Amino acid sequence: MSTATILPGIDLSRTPRPSSGFDPEVIDRQSIADLQAVGSDKWTRYPGCIGAFIAEMDFGLAPAIQRAIHDATDRCALGYIPDPWKRRLAEACALWQRERYGWDVDPSRIRVAPDILEILEVFLREVVGRGHAIVVPTPAYMPFLSVPRLYGVNVIEVPMLRRVQSVQSAQSAESSDSGNPAATGWDFDFEAIERAFAEPSTRGFMLCNPHNPIGKVLTEGEMLRISELAARYDVRIFSDEIHAPFVYRGRHVPFATLNELTARQSMTATSASKSFNIPGTKCAQVILTNPDDYEMWMDRAEWSEHQTATIGAIATTAAYTEGGDWYEDMLRYVRGNERLLDSWMRGELRKVGYVEPQGSYIAWLDFSPLGIEHPADYFYKKAHVALTDGRECGRVGAGCVRMNFAMPRPLLEECLTRMAAALKADGLI
Ligand SMILES: Cc1ncc(COP(=O)(O)O)c(C=O)c1O
């Protein structure tokens, strides 16, 4: 395999590269034109803009994945997904869960689907059911609000709470001219969650850990409290753990591993599509720790499995079994980006509402302290930066944007520079 194709536009063959194939120096040299030439949605949907909206990374492919895909095309092995690949993938996913999160999960309980949203659709259709409701903490990943409605499932939005520092330290921070200095974290509003669970139609809860878009990594205590409330009101839990590989502080604990009850309450959805940037290969995994869910899945989700891409199973298996070194190097780089973003948010952009993410590569920025009503439009027009409009993430999202910071670091610097320049030009910072 030629290394020259891992990042199009850059001749990697002349560059000494780390053994993982993840080379920060090469990534740093990627230009907007290079990324547009790759042709991702992120860099083509808004021509001329820095793409910081959709959750894709710009770091090429792990060599193990590229090798596996080349090998599959060499063998012309691209028919419908066969059982042996489903089994290999389930074993690879179980290995990843065991090695990374200490979850000794039985591979026979791991099934495939094209993506997380398809798994959510099965959950909505079969577990929650038409005419019932699902509780979604907000701001939320946008489809968590729109997809349930397609299945006749009502969404009950429960806003997350911004944690505030002690009064004294908040006052001293405010005196340093900070716009929203006191927010140090996010908490669940358990009272509001309990009220929503008590609604007679409520059947499901959307757990997203790490949380997109606020980057919260849930503690065991928080998950146990949710589990306790869910047990009281007979609510099932959809646990989306797609961002589990991106945790900067603390560690990822799969919800289903806490105890027997949480295993029965939850349907876990996971995928290598974020951590290895292969969402277009269409292969996610569902971990069915509730025996009734397993029966249901085997009886009613055949077409979801059938839609899963063989090339995705091949790519994902390679990612989980051979991609560890690339992943570790990638994570170090993304963590560096997070540090860069954080320094801007504590420096030039300190008047913007912000809580440092504990995980994921997404940040939630609140421009309402600056009086900007529609910040996504504002930065699109004034800075040529494409962000997700916070209103798509729930009613609490007015004045906010969701920002993806997994891009080459010089482009992230450019992105933040452009945003700050627009705000300065308008006298807002
Ligand atoms: C929390 C979360 N869940 C699900 C998805 C979508 O995953 P998939 O493409 O596998 O449906 C994303 C994509 O950004 C996400 O951030």
**pLDDT tens digits for range 97-112:** 999 999 999 999 999 9
For residues 63 and 326, the answer to whether their CB atoms sit within 8 Å is yes
| Cα–Cα distance measured from residue 54 to residue 234, given in angstroms and rounded to the nearest whole number | 34
Label residue 97 exposed, middle or buried (CB < 10 Å: 0-12, 13-18, 19+).
Answer: buried
Q: What is the DSSP string of 277-318?
A: T-GGG--EEEE--SHHHHHHHHHH-HHHHHTS-HHHHHHHHH
Name which residue sits closest to atom 7 of ligand 1, judged by CA.
116
* Helix/strand/coil for 391: helix
> What CATH number did the domain enclosing 12 receive?
3.90.1150.10
Token pair for 62: 């792990």
Give residue 42 CA to ligand 1 midpoint distance, Å: 14
Question: Which of 230, 168, 221 lies closest to 193, judged by CA?
Answer: 230
* Helix/strand/coil for 129: coil
In a domain, 65, yes or no: no
Nearest 5°: the CA angle 122, 142, 179 is 150
Pocket of ligand 1 (CB under 6 A): 55, 115-117, 141, 208, 212, 240, 242-243, 271, 273, 279, 284
Q: pLDDT grade, residue 357 (50/70/90)?
A: very high
Q: Identify the domain containing residue 414 by its residue range.
A: 3-60+324-425
Name which residue sits closest to atom 5 of ligand 1, judged by CA.
116
In a domain, 39, yes or no: yes
Q: Both 356 and 313 in a single domain?
A: no
| Cα–Cα distance measured from residue 125 to residue 285, given in angstroms and rounded to the nearest whole number | 18
What is the average pLDDT across 327-354?
97
Q: Both 132 and 281 in a single domain?
A: yes
Beta-sheet strands, E only, within 29-105:
50-51
| Cα–Cα distance measured from residue 394 to residue 136, given in angstroms and rounded to the nearest whole number | 9
What is the average pLDDT across 351-362?
97
Q: Both 53 and 131 in a single domain?
A: no
In a domain, 66, yes or no: no
Name which residue sits closest to atom 6 of ligand 1, judged by CA.
116
Q: Both 314 and 337 in a single domain?
A: no
* pLDDT tens sequence across 240-265: 999 999 999 889 999 999 999 999 99
What is the average pLDDT across 16-32?
90
* pLDDT tens sequence across 269-327: 999 999 999 999 999 999 999 999 999 999 999 999 999 999 999 999 999 999 999 99
Q: pLDDT grade, residue 55 (50/70/90)?
A: very high
